[in-house]
Structure 1
């Protein structure tokens, strides 16, 4: 399973959270940093783990400004939507910045606690099996944990070491008094250590039969159970980060992400062996009801939060072993004013598109992969008249339309080759019978393109995204296999917006609308 690999040797955290709040480090933190640490004590514990003498105290940002991309060696912490934090760790000599998720369990050794929790949760298996939505599962797990755990009443806090694995060192054979190696990684405890920990940390409360934990341990347990049973393990903090666009695993080793501010970033999340990578890919795919096998090694699926995942399984088809890529789902769609503010398009372009869409004209947003086509089409749908009936058709749900009368339809693959497939072509034909004012197609790839142009001929407005770097390439793809739109149909398409990722004079990459034809 994935593990956390830190670029430094974690320092031992001395003292309870209450004692740390009275320390000198907390006193020098800015007010917003203090507030975040008060709400989430594990954040302050993490600050005591890192080599502050070498890197300095990280800056705290509640929201990241875009100009942070100009910093060559950022050292900062910001919150994510999942209740955890992220440390962008400075690596001046490296090609990429390092992304470290700061989780409640990071400063607590959970190796002895979690097996006992897992065993106690087995009693609720039947109750959990009937649940379907992530919200229902989260609520059920938290209620079960409240029943099997209690907060220790003596007010004592164990001296917890780091649960993360640091970068390997040449000599890590000797350990400290708690059985952890000097480099901070956690060794498997001996039988005596297990018994001692079981008697100490996990002693049963009299009469209640509950597992006694400190408040910090209970918070960490709840977080871990939800992360592992409902979420996707150590990748969960990445999926909850609104600044993460893509998550990429190219094989054994550390995970890469594409960050909105810092672009390509290396994370501290690592999958150490081929076997663990295969197991992780199978676990995720089975949870999505699209299991990867040697017979079906390539799968596309949608995670519960709407993120798209593509998995290529096994060394037969991927020489570096199993790999996967997650295109994170957008939360709140980017508005047209934000797009203009980013410089993606000018205000004059936006005004022109508003006139076009008010008249229900046919529009294609075309560009290369990851050029921002979906972001742009989501933004300009705000120009459609509010009384419009809109039908969107996608293979992966990404479109976000701000209209009440919006039918959102998604294609479906057949299961085990037994039929039941509903493709984009089928949905588009059905949409013509639903009397829409505008049909929005997530992406035209095949025969549905011809139906889209036939819909234009019958008076339906059509919007779509399309992979093409220019108007000429768009025409070539539309008129060639497998789309095969006759050339005399092409004049039904009113507007083509071309958007690309371009390199700016300062060397940075940005998304720009190159033309509206």
Structure 2
């Protein structure tokens, strides 16, 4: 008799364990009845914790634990079986404490970006490829509630007076959210997750994103104070690549990083990080990229590392590169190296309201300041490659900046190729800074 009871207890434990595992791992779409139950629980929590939920001084982690305990107590009162209770518990916690259907994707390290195009249309990026997912929000209100829950800890919100918000979360992830009227079909949310594990050089080799020869050359250029621009389209990994290049920077130099959103993870000890500030408040000034670049020149840096140059701040950066801050680096949006130096940067220079340059003057400034361009590209299969490494050779007869390819990626052969061009100007610059680059 005892053995039969023991077997029943064992079977029951196994059944409960299977239910727990299934509920935790599967994506749950709530039924109509479950939605009503969750709505009632949300109402109870909102009433019980009204003061705490609006008090920014309260420890959120401690409050979440109290709310989670209350959720479990409320669910245990319901006349439903064990599996339904666990389903309701997961859904309620996701919707009240977590971020609803997005929580599982935020917890998945393989997912690098989450894009909510509408409350019922969510896609994610995995290994550079966009994939649709089954998860969705129950309605527009649920999506807007999650957006504000994401923004609340950093003191931001989306509303009619501020229908678009760009923000950085505590973990470094970047968030862009919009609501009607600027997105008339409903709220949108984009989360670019912050990667805590820095992409090291060996990882680029492992992923076949660059060759060893290219990497060795870039390491010499960084150590030898060659001024570098990393160029590429959206999602090509420009900031991540700049982060990798920064690992070659000497320990004894004074470095300043300037970003809209802090993403660079320089490991050197002498690093000061500056971040822009966008304020829509009459009592506070906005601090843009240009102001920070100008301020950094008075802070005695050996090099300035700008996360991304996208406006008139490029004028100050080019001036810095030309006047004692050689070896500075930045990234820029462009489809090719030629597009960067002959279209994108000249256009950004026009955005500097305090300056006016002729086309030739712009080209001269660019050719004098930038010595090397690294172009990144994302292939159709999601793989990112270093498609070009070019040296800036001066101004041509047509008044355009001249470039010479040193390394290129051959798409047909899927190979990285050295063109045979030896950049003498860069070699001399390296030699002056104590770095040897033999012609062979």
Residues 165-204 of structure 1 mapped to structure 2, 5 A cutoff: none
The equivalent of 2:93 in structure 1 is 224
The equivalent of 2:191 in structure 1 is 326
Native 8 Å contact 2:127 2:382 kept in 1: no
Return the TM-score normalized by structure 2: 0.72
Shift of 1:265: 2.2
The equivalent of 1:466 in structure 2 is 332
The equivalent of 1:236 in structure 2 is 103
Q: Does 1:482 align with 2:409?
A: no
Residues 34-45 of structure 1 mapped to structure 2, 5 A cutoff: 43-45=20-22
Cα distance, 1:513–1:320 mapped onto 2, change above 3 Å? same
The one of 284, 293, 296 aligned to 1:428: 293
Cα distance, 1:233–1:437 mapped onto 2, change above 3 Å? farther
Native 8 Å contact 1:101 1:237 kept in 2: no
Count how many residue pairs are aligned between Structure 1 and Structure 2: 365
Native 8 Å contact 1:108 1:163 kept in 2: no
Cα distance, 1:319–1:143 mapped onto 2, change above 3 Å? closer
Shift of 1:325: 1.3
The equivalent of 2:421 in structure 1 is none
Native 8 Å contact 2:45 2:67 kept in 1: no
Cα distance, 1:233–1:159 mapped onto 2, change above 3 Å? closer
Native 8 Å contact 1:252 1:271 kept in 2: yes
Q: C-alpha distance in 2, partners of 1:277/1:442?
A: 31
Cα distance, 1:389–1:240 mapped onto 2, change above 3 Å? farther
The equivalent of 1:367 in structure 2 is 232
Shift of 1:427: 1.1
Native 8 Å contact 2:376 2:386 kept in 1: yes
The equivalent of 1:514 in structure 2 is 387
The equivalent of 1:256 in structure 2 is 123
Q: Does 1:272 align with 2:272?
A: no
The one of 283, 302, 312 aligned to 2:168: 302
Q: Does 1:400 align with 2:265?
A: yes
Cα distance, 1:19–1:252 mapped onto 2, change above 3 Å? same
Query: Could you say what the CA RMSD is over the residues aligned between the two structures, in angstroms?
Result: 3.7
Native 8 Å contact 1:390 1:438 kept in 2: yes
Q: C-alpha distance in 2, partners of 1:321/1:17?
A: 51
SS of match in other structure, 1:356: helix
Cα distance, 1:421–1:439 mapped onto 2, change above 3 Å? same
SS of match in other structure, 1:427: helix
Considering fraction of residues, name the structure with more helix.
Answer: 2
Q: C-alpha distance in 1, partners of 2:43/2:157?
A: 27
Q: C-alpha distance in 2, partners of 1:399/1:406?
A: 11
Q: C-alpha distance in 1, partners of 2:37/2:197?
A: 35
Cα distance, 1:116–1:367 mapped onto 2, change above 3 Å? same
Q: Does 1:246 align with 2:113?
A: yes
Q: C-alpha distance in 2, partners of 1:161/1:474?
A: 57
SS of match in other structure, 1:375: helix
Native 8 Å contact 2:174 2:193 kept in 1: yes
Deviation string 1:462-513 (CA, Å, 9 cap, x unpaired) is: 111100111211112212232667221122211100001123xxxx231110
SS of match in other structure, 1:271: coil
The one of 332, 356, 376 aligned to 2:241: 376
Native 8 Å contact 1:101 1:268 kept in 2: no
Q: Give structure 2 stretches of 5+ with no counterpart.
A: 1-7, 391-440
Q: Give structure 1 stretches of 5+ with no counterpart.
A: 1-15, 24-36, 47-83, 88-99, 165-185, 187-216
Shift of 1:353: 0.8
Q: Does 1:439 align with 2:293?
A: no
The equivalent of 1:57 in structure 2 is none
Residues 112-131 of structure 1 mapped to structure 2, 5 A cutoff: 116=44, 119-121=47-49, 129-131=56-58
SS of match in other structure, 1:161: helix
Q: C-alpha distance in 2, partners of 1:324/1:17?
A: 47
